Amino acid sequence: MLDYKPSANLLRDRVILVTGAGTGIGRAVALAAAAHGATLVLLGRSQARLEQAYDAIEAAGHPRPALVPLNLETATVKDYEELAATLDQEFGRLDGLLHNAGILGRLAPIDHYDPETWLKVCQVNLNAPFLLTRACLPLLRRPEQASVLFTSAEVGRQGRAYWGAYAASLAGVEGLVEVLADELENTAIRVNSIDPGPVRTGLREEAYPAEDPTHLPLPESIVGPYLYLLGPDGHGVHGQRLRAQRETRTGG
């Protein structure tokens, strides 16, 4: 999938919501999706970073996106329901939902892991995707095809020592993908997870501060698999745990 070459109008007239759209993989996928015709709903914690992504999309002449500044750590059920109601009013449907926002927390053994940090990581990485998906399912049922895609990681599929809440929360995400995929079998909504592998992002740098990031691929170089799974070419791919790069053993 890394060598996938999407057509220029792959996502024309599609409405796609991306969480964590202000930086890293989320921003790269959002800009690439806009370049292929999608109208983006950019969701993130930082208004300033969302505005930078917005400006880049608008300057390139792509469809004008919508901005949703939202802190997933503190967002309530009502916040998600109000967001879905706004999307319904503005767009009437949702063709794609990419759950990309996530936080690392800390790397520590369980007996030294701070409970407050554990709850915060699980809230952002697992509870928020559940609440947002739940609120948006009626919108995702409206188009002929829709895609829900979760960014995961290797440690969410095989836990490792010291990865704590990050690994546990992404294991929960993988379980959520399986539940949703089974519930939505034989519907117009397909559900998958993707492990991007080692990529030059802020979270990666936080997890591996001694690593030379210049040896890692940029987020822009791994957007192909995301576009494939969000677009019509990925029709029929459902309930899969996919990788954007060759299998590695590096944790995040």
Cα separation, 216 vs 241, whole angstroms: 22
Cα separation, 28 vs 223, whole angstroms: 7
Instruction: Flag whether 5 is in a domain.
Output: no
Cα separation, 84 vs 78, whole angstroms: 10
Q: Which domain, by its residues, includes 43?
A: 15-243
Q: Provide the pLDDT for residue 3.
A: 79
Instruction: Flag whether 249 is in a domain.
Output: no
Instruction: Flag whether 88 is in a domain.
Output: yes
Whether the predicted pLDDT of 133 surpasses 70: yes
Instruction: Flag whether 251 is in a domain.
Output: no
Q: Provide the pLDDT for residue 1.
A: 63
pLDDT digits (tens, 9 = 90+) for 160-181: 999 999 999 999 999 999 999 9
DSSP 172-240: HHHHHHHHHHHHTTTSSEEEEEEE--S-S-HHHHHH-TTS-GGGSPPGGGGHHHHHHHHSGGGTT--S-
pLDDT digits (tens, 9 = 90+) for 103-119: 999 999 999 999 999 99
Instruction: Flag whether 74 is in a domain.
Output: yes
Instruction: Flag whether 147 is in a domain.
Output: yes
**Whole-number mean pLDDT of the chain?**
95
Whole-model pTM: value is 0.95
Instruction: Flag whether 234 is in a domain.
Output: yes
Cα separation, 72 vs 186, whole angstroms: 31
Token digits of residue 76: 């309530």
How many independent structural domains does the chain possess? 1
Enumerate the active-site residues: 166
Cα separation, 105 vs 117, whole angstroms: 6
Closest among 250, 129, 157 to 199, alpha carbons compared: 250
Give the CATH number for residue 108: 3.40.50.720
Average pLDDT on 220-242 reads: 96
Instruction: Flag whether 3 is in a domain.
Output: no
